[in-house]
Amino acid sequence: MSLSAPDFMLCDIPIQGDLILAPMDGYSDVPFRTLCRRFGSSMSYTGFVNAIALIQGDELAWRDLDFLPEERPVIFQIFDQSEENLLEAALRIQKLQPDAIDVNMGCSSRRVSSRGAGAGLLRDPDKIGRIIHRLTAALDVPVTAKIRIGWDQTSLNYLEVAHAVEDNGGALIAVHARTRNQGYLGGADWDTIAEIKSAVTIPVIGNGDVQTPQDIERLKTSTGCDGVMIGRGAIGNPWIFQRDPSEAPPIEDRIQIMQGHLDHMISYHGEELGIIRFRKHLKRYLEPLSITKANLRPMLTCVDKQQLSGQLDALKQIYG
C-alpha cells in the first residue's frame, strides 16, 4: 500500500505529517519522543546537546543522541557559539546517521544565550550564515535551524536570519515566534511566522502558544506554515498530536498512557532516575484532574515504582 503524499519535504526526505514534538531540554528523551510519535508526531528532535560536551566525549551528552529506528526521521540538535565547535561536533555525530542536524538558535536561557550560543546567535546573522554554510558544505545530511524572532523587540531581525539560513544551504527553519528577552512570557507573534514563510522557499515550521487542536489549525491557517511544532503543550498531553478537538481521554486511558510512559522511563533511565524524570511529566498529566496538594504531593515525591503505580491506579477509583 502506497503512502499518501508527504506534507512537506526535508531535502529528499518525505515528511508524513505536519505536527512535530519540539526539542525540549530535559524532556525530549527516547521515552517521551516515542510516545508522541505513536500519537502522531512526524519527526523526532533530540533535546539540544552541548557541542563542547560531545567533542570532549561526555557520555551523558552522547546518550542524549540515542534514538530508536521507529523515530525516523530523527534530527540531532546541537548548540554552541563557536563555528569550529559546531562543525567538529556535527562531523562526529553524523556517524550516528541522523536524518538531519539542527543548530539551536532559540534557547533563551541566560547561561546559553549570554555566551553567544542559542538565541545569542541571533545578534549576528552573518555568523549564522557562516555556520550554516560550513555545515552544509561538510556534512552529508541536511542542516536545519530553530530560531526565535530576535533578541528583543528592538532587534526583530527574523527575516535577515531566515535568509541567512536559506541562502547558505539550510534545509528547514523552525520558528519560535518570541524574542530571546520574552523567554516564554507574552504571546507568540504568529504574524512573524507568516512573514518568514512568504520570504523563503524552504519548509517553515511554526512554534509558540499551541495548546489545543484548535490552536494547531489557527496557526496553520494564519501563517501558511508547513508544519506545527508543539512543545509545552505536549507535556502531559501527548494526544494533542491526534488532533482530536474533543475532550482528553477518559481516566482509564489516561492512567494507562501514564503507566506506559512510566515503565518506558524506568526501562530506559533506571528506576530512580526514570521516576524522577517522569515526575515532571506526571504533574502535567494530572493538572486537569484538580487533585488536592495533599494527594498530589505523595505522587510527586515518590521514588518507588510499585508505590507510584499503585497511586496512579487509585486515581481510577477517585475520578473514574
Q: How far apart are CA 97 and CA 164, in angstroms?
A: 26
pLDDT in tens, the chain (320 residues): 456 899 999 999 999 999 999 999 999 999 999 999 999 999 999 999 999 999 999 999 999 999 999 999 999 999 999 999 999 999 999 999 999 999 999 999 999 999 999 999 999 999 999 999 999 999 999 999 999 999 999 999 999 999 999 999 999 999 999 999 999 999 999 999 999 999 999 999 999 999 999 999 999 999 999 999 999 999 999 999 999 877 678 888 989 999 999 999 999 999 999 999 999 999 999 988 888 888 889 999 999 999 999 999 888 877 76
Distances (CA, A) of 140 to 92, 97, 98: 12, 9, 10
Residue 4 buriedness (CB in 10 A; 0-12 / 13-18 / 19+): exposed
Cell 526535508 maps to which residue? 10
Residue 1 has a pLDDT of 41
Q: Is 107 a catalytic residue?
A: yes
Whole-model pTM? Answer: 0.94
Dihedral, CA atoms, 284, 290, 292, 293, nearest 10 degrees? Answer: 30
Pairing of the two strands 143-148 and 100-105:
parallel
Q: How far apart are CA 217 and CA 236, in angstroms?
A: 20
Which residue among the candidates 11, 36, 107, 302 is catalytic per the annotation? 107
Q: How far apart are CA 17 and CA 5, in angstroms?
A: 10
Nearest residue to 162 (alpha-carbon basis) of 176, 178, 147, 151: 147
Cell of 57: 566525549
CATH number of 8-242: 3.20.20.70
